[in-house]
A and B are shown apart, each in its own frame.
Chain A
Amino acid sequence: MDLFSDGLLKWQDIFRPLTEALGVKPHILVRWFDTNTFFREPELSGRLATPGNPDGVVPDGSVPRPRVTTLPSPYMFSRAAHTDQDRNALMVALAERVLRPAIDAAVAAGAELIHLEDPWLGYVGIAREDWAPLTDALKILHRDLKATLAFHVYFGDAGPHIDQLLKLPVDAIGVDLIQTDIKELGSGWEKGLVAGVINGRSSILESPKSLVDVARHLADTVRPRDLYLSSNCELGYLPTPVAEQKVQRLGETAKAVKQLVSV
């Protein structure tokens, strides 16, 4: 691995440390897309509170550096919340008042990659008029950021959204390659590609050799500015021993790919 995380093991769901910093009560349990995992709907009705210190997003000192910090994307956060507010206005407010302070805290603690996860866009989709406020929200997160900002779409086919995704003010786009056809990614990316090549929903272990072939293919055809190898989604749907083996294979794959590149 090149970037390290604590796996968010202490987070009860992807929103919880952030909503706790906001001092809002978790709302009802809601199914997390098509998984057997449930999250507490963030209760964000009324005016967004001023958050306290987002300490919960910073891993403890045992996590090696450089680090990757995963956070909900402002689009997903605003859609998954229970609110009586305009969701696009909420999206921008969340970016400014909740996510940006969390990102700054993470960067100060050694995060070099900020990984915004967005299964909402992959699973549910996005209306045409929502791209502009999403862009505004991401501009807030990207401005003067001393880390790489990645926007990762999963639990769905990113293919139909690629053109719009590549216009977003982020450094890298993440794609769930279990759901997305590589041919749909196009070529000549001016952004990085976070390639979700490890299946976080299946206990069957990937072969590093096959993954190396996929990485080479992506490098040759998509030609992203940077290529990151990752899982297609969180690994929290896998028992720890299975997840550990998958991470191991991801590391073996990355090592083999780097050797190829250095030849």
Chain B
Amino acid sequence: MSQVLDHKPLLTHEVGSLDKPGWRVKAYAGKPLDDKDLEEARTWGERLQVPEYKRLIDLLQHAPFTKDQKAELQRWSSLYAVRLEESAGLDVVYDGEQQRTEMYDWAVSHTNGFERRGSVRAFDNKYYTKEAVVGPISLRSPFHNAEFSYLVSVAEAELKIPVTGAYTIADWSFDERNRTPENLLQPAAERARQRHAARRDFVLEVARNMIRPNLEALIKLGARWIQVDEPGASTEADELDLFVDSFNASVEGLNAMFSTHLCFSDYNLFFPAIERMEQCRQFAVGFANYDSRELGTSDEARPGYQVIKKFRDLPYKPALGLGVLDIHSDFIESPELVRDRVLYAVKVFGDPNRIHVTPDCGLRTRSWKVAYEKLRNMTAGVRMARQQLGLPTAD
């Protein structure tokens, strides 16, 4: 049964990814590092007070790196990311996928049944790699265990671990289990019926044979809060029931707190389908991207947040992870803007315990400097909101 963890009102956390430092990317790829990379490692080590960071500087000066040294560099990157989030004042942290290639690629490349097909554009000039499912899906071995075990050993704040969800994995993959192309001379309705049946079968197979065993392994290691990332959830408006079924099939009967992350969608589409997602204790949703940058707590001042009333009215009363930072812009939200977005949400919900405060999505498209400033202002804005609401401002 999905747990409800005892969290303070207006809990703050990240959502998923952070950019990978240049020294980590270059070292892992076997490319030469320059003084700028070392300076980056030194500057952030000092700023974040990373213990013994000089060992990292020393290690970076001894290229080429062995496989073990590359793994060690990934762990340093994780440590830096966790310290960045802790230093920014977040209540719940993660390492921003420093040990993963990327949320989709990492998952499918550790799973049987997939083959790589190549890159496609996501937006602007950002691309992602797509794979095709070509056979039965099974977990090669749990693929977040090493990451989680390391993070448990270094995180001082509470940990939350994100896992890419079944619907998104399926939606971002091609399905080549049946290699027969559609016969266009057949009635379109029959072809559509066959497509939907194959799609349902695919999504639920991912949920049962890939996601669920991974969640079970994490729970055995002590994971208490698992965020099922579903940025693809609303891609197909007529498949929201399937998204909900896949979430339920992934987590049903497992003992942890499960939340989900949704972003860059018309969130109205999720209703009423997610009324059946009782196991989801928090929805982390991006809103700032759609909002005004003006201050204010009226409906007119907060156009990006009008849909939150629907999350408020869900019968099982989940928390809302309120996205207050636009992750596609270097614009640094002021603490006052964060405060007003939070106060508006509290006013709508009437209960600060049901509001958590987050960026819209992972911050990997921003530099660490920008991400850090945004996160610091986010926590500062939450402190201002707590003060205004008469809530305790210290831990």
Give how many A residues have a beta carbon under 8 Å from the other chain's beta carbons.
42
- The smallest C-beta distance from B324 to any residue of chain A, in angstroms, reads 15
A217 close to B185 (CB less than 8 A)? yes
**Which residues on the B side are within 8 Å of A36 (C-beta)?**
122, 128, 171-172, 232, 235
A29 close to B264 (CB less than 8 A)? yes
Give how many B residues have a beta carbon under 8 Å from the other chain's beta carbons.
40
- The smallest C-beta distance from A86 to any residue of chain B, in angstroms, reads 20
Q: Is A157 an interface residue (CB 8 A)?
A: yes
- B258-289 vs A, CB cutoff 8 Å, 1 = contact: the mask equals 00000011100000000000000000000001
Contact among A28, A181, A203 with B176 in the assembled complex (CB-CB below 8 Å): A203
Give CA–CA (A31, B266) in the complex, Å. 9
Q: Is A19 an interface residue (CB 8 A)?
A: no
Contact among A28, A35, A178, A199 with B290 in the assembled complex (CB-CB below 8 Å): A28
Contact among A30, A34, A182 with B237 in the assembled complex (CB-CB below 8 Å): A34
- The smallest C-beta distance from B72 to any residue of chain A, in angstroms, reads 33
Contact (A39, B123) CB under 8 Å given A34-B235, A197-B184:
yes
**In chain B, residues 177-201, which have Cβ atoms closer than 8 Å to a Cβ of chain A?**
179-185, 187-189, 191-192
Binds B, one of A65-73, A89-97, A205-213: A205-213
**Which residues on the B side are within 8 Å of A205 (C-beta)?**
181
Q: Is A183 an interface residue (CB 8 A)?
A: yes
**Which residues on the B side are within 8 Å of A197 (C-beta)?**
184
Give CA–CA (A34, B235) in the complex, Å. 5
Q: Is A214 an interface residue (CB 8 A)?
A: yes
Give CA–CA (A13, B124) in the complex, Å. 7
**Which residues on the B side are within 8 Å of A31 (C-beta)?**
234-235, 264-266
- The smallest C-beta distance from B119 to any residue of chain A, in angstroms, reads 6
B182 close to A178 (CB less than 8 A)? yes
Give CA–CA (A165, B266) in the complex, Å. 29
B118 close to A237 (CB less than 8 A)? no
Give CA–CA (A204, B182) in the complex, Å. 9
**Which residues on the B side are within 8 Å of A62 (C-beta)?**
none
**In chain B, residues 115-133, which have Cβ atoms closer than 8 Å to a Cβ of chain A?**
117-125, 128, 130, 132
- A188-223 vs B, CB cutoff 8 Å, 1 = contact: the mask equals 000000000101001111110010011001000000
Residue of B nearest to A181 (CB): B188
**In chain A, residues 230-251, which have Cβ atoms closer than 8 Å to a Cβ of chain B?**
236-242
B185 close to A213 (CB less than 8 A)? yes
**Which residues on the A side are within 8 Å of B266 (C-beta)?**
31
**In chain A, residues 28-73, which have Cβ atoms closer than 8 Å to a Cβ of chain B?**
28-31, 34-40
**Which residues on the B side are within 8 Å of A187 (C-beta)?**
none
The chain B residues found within 8 Å of chain A, CB to CB, are 117-125, 128, 130, 132, 171-172, 174-176, 179-185, 187-189, 191-192, 232, 234-237, 264-266, 289-290, 328
Pick 18 A–B contacts, CB within 8 A, sort by A. Answer: A28-B290, A29-B123, A31-B235, A34-B235, A34-B237, A36-B171, A180-B188, A197-B184, A202-B174, A202-B175, A204-B181, A205-B181, A207-B181, A214-B185, A217-B185, A236-B120, A240-B119, A242-B118
